[in-house]
Amino acid sequence: MIEMLKPSGIDWIGNIPFDWPLKKIRFATTVRTEVGKYTADDVFIGLENVEGSTGRLIETESEYEEGTYDVFRKGDVLFSKLRPYLEKAFIADFDGFCTGEFVIFKGFEGDKRFLFYFLLSHGFIEIVNASTYGAKMPRASWDYIKNLHMPLPCTTEQQAIAAFLDDRCRQIDGIVADLERQVEILRQYKKAFITETVTKGLDKTATLKDSGIDWIGEMPRHWEKKRLKFLGSARNGLTYAPEDVVDEDKGTLVLRSSNIQNDRLVFDDNVYVNCRIPKEIVLQENDLLICSRNGSQALIGKCALIDEKTAGQTYGAFMCVYRSRYNKFIHYVFLSDIFSYYLGTFLTSTVNQLTNLNLYNIQIPIPMDLNEQAVIIDFLDRKCAETDDLIAEKQKAAETMRQYKKSLIYEYVTGKKRVAG
């Protein structure tokens, strides 16, 4: 049977079933504007507590001070209005408090799960994303959202659609979770063989000696144990003012934490400045760029080598650069469990910072023969490339499933596909 559709008159919605009315969102639901006094005994939800792909709550270490916050009630649907976190929604099954970065929908006429899925449909997300305002933290507004249209099948069909999507999305989420577990296993495998190689070398017949450091264990007898302060030097990055930020073609690239992803340089989120840059913090090829300060402790120490194309640029104040003739080897040491151990010895819950003093006092095992280093680096380059390719393959498959989920939701909440029976 061919489904009869009619034009909705709304580009991002497209055609909808003939028996589905179209309403502005403000005529189908409204928003809660209640505020209250939050205390430590209450439940509090921030954006970081909502898993975007599933709408489930996740625990974090975030803490909010007692004070006045927005109130939500059981049955409300929370939708993130902050870009780039628009793809986050949550159906409350309890009363609580939340940040002002949510739109709190209440009193929806129909099944709230249908509203939840509509809010997560890619068509709705894209049109809301285009409306966001604000330079630093762009956000959407209820005044805009309330005048958007949504197709509204009868409540019985809403329930059928929601039940179908619950089941199908659960299956997709399970596949994505399994792929993410495989990615994590591959990452741990990568770290393990890097650690083995930078502490034991490649010659399995080499005589070993006790390094005197538990987390290194034995190392080849001819290797040395060196503090980083004796192998190179470190410098902190550039401090600049908001008025120094300019367009790409008018300034110098300032590398920040976001420019390091998966141990490599990326250029999806760039900042350029026009100001005086001291010569000593102009980047050189093979400099080791390190995240030295960050709100997230997990990001401290992530690093990447500067390539020929990026030499001549600079880096921000929350970064540091370590410069030595041994950086290609030391980079792999930083990617091993050794460096992870050191981070745990000087980071605290209140200060997420890798100081130059901390960096200089790190001891590493190292073959001082540059030829031996080159053989190890070549081996790790090839081995890591193979593993990275596998990781990328799994990540691509996971992203394909996420995109399929978005399309599936869109097709059913706009009636392009309908639940049988």
**Residue 362 confidence (pLDDT):** 93
Does 120 or 345 have the greater pLDDT score? 120
Confidence category of residue 293, pLDDT binned at 50, 70, 90: confident
**Residue 91 confidence (pLDDT):** 94
Q: Stretch 77-85: mean pLDDT, rounded? A: 85
**Residue 139 confidence (pLDDT):** 82
Confidence category of residue 294, pLDDT binned at 50, 70, 90: confident
Give 175-190 pLDDT, tens digit per residue: 999 999 999 999 999 9
Confidence category of residue 41, pLDDT binned at 50, 70, 90: confident
Same fold, 5-152 and 224-366: yes
265-273's contacts with Cβ under 8 Å and 24+ in sequence apart are 265/289, 265/304, 265/306, 265/307, 265/310, 271/245, 271/316, 272/245, 272/246, 272/247, 272/248, 273/238, 273/240, 273/244, 273/245, 273/246, 273/314
Give 93-126 pLDDT, tens digit per residue: 999 999 888 999 999 989 999 999 999 998 898 8
Residue 398 has pLDDT above 50, yes or no: yes
**Residue 135 confidence (pLDDT):** 63
Residue 32 has pLDDT above 50, yes or no: yes
Confidence category of residue 138, pLDDT binned at 50, 70, 90: confident
**Residue 1 confidence (pLDDT):** 45
Task: Check if the beta carbon of residue 116 is closer than 8 Å to that of residue 89.
Answer: yes
Q: Stretch 279-298: mean pLDDT, rounded? A: 90
**Residue 321 confidence (pLDDT):** 97
Q: How far apart are CA 97 and CA 70, in angstroms?
A: 6
Instruction: Please return the burial class of 1, using the count of CB atoms within 10 Å of its CB with bins 0-12, 13-18 and 19+.
Output: exposed
Annotated domain spans of the chain: 5-152, 224-366
Confidence category of residue 47, pLDDT binned at 50, 70, 90: confident
Instruction: Please return the burial class of 156, using the count of CB atoms within 10 Å of its CB with bins 0-12, 13-18 and 19+.
Output: exposed
Confidence category of residue 49, pLDDT binned at 50, 70, 90: confident
Give 5-21 pLDDT, tens digit per residue: 999 999 999 999 999 99
Residue 136 has pLDDT above 70, yes or no: no
**Average pLDDT taken over every residue of the chain:** 91
**Residue 348 confidence (pLDDT):** 63
Confidence category of residue 349, pLDDT binned at 50, 70, 90: low
**Residue 57 confidence (pLDDT):** 86
Q: Stretch 269-292: mean pLDDT, rounded? A: 95
Q: How far apart are CA 124 and CA 120, in angstroms?
A: 7
Residue 63 has pLDDT above 90, yes or no: no
Residue 314 has pLDDT above 60, yes or no: yes
Residue 170 has pLDDT above 90, yes or no: yes
Confidence category of residue 285, pLDDT binned at 50, 70, 90: very high
Give 366-387 pLDDT, tens digit per residue: 999 999 999 999 999 999 999 9
Minimum mean pLDDT range among 77-91, 135-149, 343-357: 343-357
**Residue 164 confidence (pLDDT):** 97
Give 194-214 pLDDT, tens digit per residue: 999 999 999 999 999 999 888
Residue 247 has pLDDT above 60, yes or no: yes
**Residue 184 confidence (pLDDT):** 97
Superfamily of domain 5-152: DNA methylase specificity domains (3.90.220.20)
Q: Does domain 224-366 have CATH number 3.90.220.20?
A: yes
